[in-house]
Amino acid sequence: MEIRNIDDVRQFAAEKLRKHNLFQTERFFLDVYCLAPGQEQKPHAHEDADKVYVVLEGRCRFTVDGAAEEHGPSVAIFCPAGSSHGVINAGAGPARLLVWMSPPPAR
């Protein structure tokens, strides 16, 4: 049995958001993204993959197909395959997101 403690994943970087992988198979990945205030993942799309962002802490502004909304903890944002999506830490403190994607992009 593989187990990861999400609360242990809190490594941030000054230069850009940090992605920490919890699990990955050929069918999905599950990451924790750590964003300092103002850091972002610019809008992009995955033609054949769905993505879900779950806010663990902080406040972020999410954009999906041009619609932007700010959300805090315990909210999940669905980005269907082919949608343009991105996120920015809009808050004054750090933000952490649980990010699931299926299938994972080719690396």
Per-residue pLDDT reduced to its tens digit, 44-75? 999 999 999 999 999 999 999 999 999 999 99
> If you average pLDDT over residues 4-20, what whole number do you get?
97
Rounded Cα–Cα distance for residues 29 and 84 (Å): 19
- Is residue 71, in this structure, part of any structural domain at all? yes
Residue-level pLDDT at 2: 96
Q: What is the percentage of the chain residues whose pLDDT exceeds 70?
A: 99
Residue-level pLDDT at 42: 97
Reported confidence tier of residue 105, pLDDT bands at 50, 70, 90: confident
Reported confidence tier of residue 95, pLDDT bands at 50, 70, 90: very high
pLDDT over 70 (residue 107) = no
- Is residue 103, in this structure, part of any structural domain at all? no
- Is residue 1, in this structure, part of any structural domain at all? no
Contacts of 8 (CB under 8 A, 6+ apart): none
- Is residue 83, in this structure, part of any structural domain at all? yes
Helix (H) or strand (E) holding 61: strand 60-64
**Domain limits at 81?**
24-98
Token pair in block for residue 7: 């609360």
- Is residue 3, in this structure, part of any structural domain at all? no
pLDDT over 80 (residue 33) = yes
Rounded Cα–Cα distance for residues 62 and 78 (Å): 10
